[in-house]
């Protein structure tokens, strides 16, 4: 591809990406199928943990485990709905007939799922602090945001890959969690281990660099895998 062609393709790609993102957000704003369900699930789960554990406050490993398990299962609701509208309303066929680069659809879906997770965490993290943390969230917030960013990235790349794989099957609601949950176990493990010192009983501790690096490398590997195979998943 010549430099002139690349120069022309870049703005066109951005325009297509912006159009796809607007479409995704409009679909969600009209249907309210994913984000409200994810948020309600997380808050309800925290309420259940609040009464089931019968503790005034959680800290350390237990607090980080409860937080990340809840966020992970809530994310499953968004992953399952990520490609459904395109599969049921002919969005895949229309996109494949267009001259747009297929990777643009990957970027739009990944950014859409990331937006879902950000809204989820705006609701879920304060609810977690109110119901289960029992202490001020502000000291732990900077470190927690770092881990959330890396954890979200892992959920996004794996969720986008699995969502595209499962949506063309008749058992997508079952197949999606069956495939994605084993792949997300390392994300859960690294994120929970990294969050544990941040939510310590004696105050926010230092972030463990080992777990952050491991999580970042895992995100990178699956990001490359998703980018490499996504084109093939769009085919029937």
pLDDT in tens, 154-204: 999 999 999 888 877 777 778 888 899 999 999 999 999 999 988 876 666
How far is Cα 233 from Cα 10, in angstroms, rounded to an integer? 24
Residue 202 DSSP class: T
Cβ(90)–Cβ(144) below 8 Å: no
How far is Cα 150 from Cα 117, in angstroms, rounded to an integer? 12
Residue closest to 160 by CA, chosen among 115, 190, 191: 115
Model-level pTM? 0.88
pLDDT, tens digit (0-9, with 9 covering 90-100), for 109-150: 999 999 999 999 999 999 999 988 876 678 888 889 999 999
CA of residue 50 relative to chain centroid, distance: 24
Q: Residue 9: is its pLDDT beyond 70? A: no
- Tokens 């304060």 locate to 126
Measure the CA angle with vertex 78, ends 30 and 157; round to 5°. 125
Q: Spell out the alpha helix ranges (H) of the chain.
A: 3-31, 35-53, 60-81, 84-89, 91-97, 103-128, 141-166, 172-195, 209-233
Q: How many domains is the chain built from?
A: 1
Measure the CA angle with vertex 80, ends 102 and 110; round to 5°. 40
Main-chain dihedrals φ then ψ at residue 169, nearest 5 degrees: -100, 160
Domain of residue 171: give its range.
Answer: 3-233
How far is Cα 196 from Cα 218, in angstroms, rounded to an integer? 19
With bands split at pLDDT 50, 70 and 90, how would you rate the model's confidence at 93? low
Return the pLDDT at 91: 67
pLDDT, tens digit (0-9, with 9 covering 90-100), for 59-85: 888 999 999 999 999 999 989 888 877
Residue closest to 77 by CA, chosen among 26, 32, 108: 32
Cβ(61)–Cβ(91) below 8 Å: no
CA distances from 34 to 77, 179, 214 (A): 6, 19, 30
Q: Residues 6 or more apart from 74 whose CB is under 8 A from it?
A: 38, 39, 41, 42, 45, 120, 124
With bands split at pLDDT 50, 70 and 90, how would you rate the model's confidence at 7? very low
């Amino acid at each position: 591809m010549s430099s002139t062609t690349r120069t022309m393709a870049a703005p066109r790609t951005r325009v297509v990406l912006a159009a796809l993102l607007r479409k995704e957000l409009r679909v969600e704003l009209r249907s309210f199928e994913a984000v409200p369900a994810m948020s309600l699930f997380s808050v309800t789960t925290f309420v259940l943990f609040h009464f089931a554990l019968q503790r005034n406050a959680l800290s350390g490993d237990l607090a980080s485990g409860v937080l990340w398990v809840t966020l992970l299962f809530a994310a499953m609701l968004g992953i399952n709905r990520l490609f459904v509208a395109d599969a049921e309303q002919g969005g895949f066929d229309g996109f494949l007939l267009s001259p747009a680069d297929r990777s643009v659809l990957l970027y739009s879906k990944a950014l859409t799922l990331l937006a879902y997770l950000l809204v989820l965490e705006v609701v879920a993290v304060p609810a977690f602090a109110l119901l289960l943390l029992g202490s001020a969230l502000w000291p732990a917030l900077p470190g927690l945001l770092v881990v959330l960013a890396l954890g979200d990235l892992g959920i996004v790349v794996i969720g986008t890959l699995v969502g595209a794989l499962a949506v063309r099957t008749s058992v997508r609601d079952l197949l999606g969690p069956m495939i994605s949950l084993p792949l997300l176990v390392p994300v859960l493990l690294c994120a929970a281990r990294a969050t544990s010192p941040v939510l310590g009983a004696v105050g926010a501790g230092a972030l463990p660099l080992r777990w952050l690096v491991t999580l970042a490398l895992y995100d990178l590997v699956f990001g490359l895998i998703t980018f490499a195979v996504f084109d093939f998943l769009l085919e029937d």
